[in-house]
Amino acid sequence: MSLWVDDGVNDGPTNMARDAAYLECGEARVRVYEWDRPWVSLGRFQVPEMTVRAGCEVGWVIRPTGGKAVLHGHDLTVGMGFPLALLRESEREVKAIYRRVIPVLVGALNRVGIPAILAEETPFVRGAGKVADCFAHVSANDVVDPATGMKVCGCALRVTSDMVLVQASIPVREPEVFAGEVFDDPALPGQVWNVRRQDFSVAVGEEFEGLVARCTSTVERGG
């Protein structure tokens, strides 16, 4: 069975259910997908009534990960599950876990022509602030354009006793819905990258396979 899949276009509940299943599968898996129309995904601790504007007609779903809300439908989205045993990390080491898996996304983005680096390696880090929109702030853990500091990839994480799940969103088209119709404090329009899902899927898959191979080799050597 392949470690990665180009999972096409699906509705919100289907996308979230398939990502959530990675927390239970016990294996390293990653999928790249799109949305059938505009959707908002909320972090698992967000309250819809306090996050989405009253009267907003865009459908919403709850992610299995935390973080802030993301407007979808114009993006490529990644769901990535990885066993902690393969990473040789404890569930308490959330930052270390993130640093082990996020290079898959950074590497894939650069491979398809999207300049990307962790924000902590730039001077552009800002406080999270009290905003609902994921793309309205930049934290040390975010993936940004090294030249401008603009966020190119919104990421959310969940760590259980034996798995980590990463969900990431990369805008590749102009939004079909103005973010101000969804959030009270929307992000300013950012860079839109012209990348095909099929090409990004291959880049993510190959970076992911590389991480799995390195981790497997380390485990087998007892390192």
pTM of this structure: 0.91
> Which architecture characterizes domain 4-221 according to CATH?
2-Layer Sandwich (3.30)
> Per DSSP, what are the bridge partners of residue 169?
77, 154
- Is the predicted pLDDT of residue 136 greater than 60, yes or no? no
- Is the predicted pLDDT of residue 132 greater than 60, yes or no? no
Tens digit of pLDDT for each residue in 80-100? Answer: 999 999 999 988 899 999 999
- Is the predicted pLDDT of residue 50 greater than 60, yes or no? yes
Q: Could you give the CA distance from residue 77 to residue 201 in angstroms, rounded to a whole number?
A: 10
- Residue 134 — pLDDT band, cuts 50, 70, 90? low
- Is the predicted pLDDT of residue 135 greater than 90, yes or no? no
Q: What is the pLDDT of residue 25?
A: 96
Q: For helices 197-221 and 94-111, give the axis angle rounded to 10 degrees.
A: 140
Q: Could you give the CA distance from residue 97 to residue 50 in angstroms, rounded to a whole number?
A: 30
Structure tokens at 132: 């609902």
Q: What is the pLDDT of residue 117?
A: 94
- Is the predicted pLDDT of residue 1 greater than 70, yes or no? no
All structural domains of the chain with their residue ranges? 4-221
Q: Residue 134, Cα to own-chain centre: how many angstroms?
A: 11
Structure tokens at 203: 């880049």
- Residue 193 — pLDDT band, cuts 50, 70, 90? confident
Q: What is the pLDDT of residue 114?
A: 96
Cα–Cα distance list, 87 to 84, 94, 206 (Å): 5, 12, 18
CA atoms within 13 A on the CB side of 28: 19
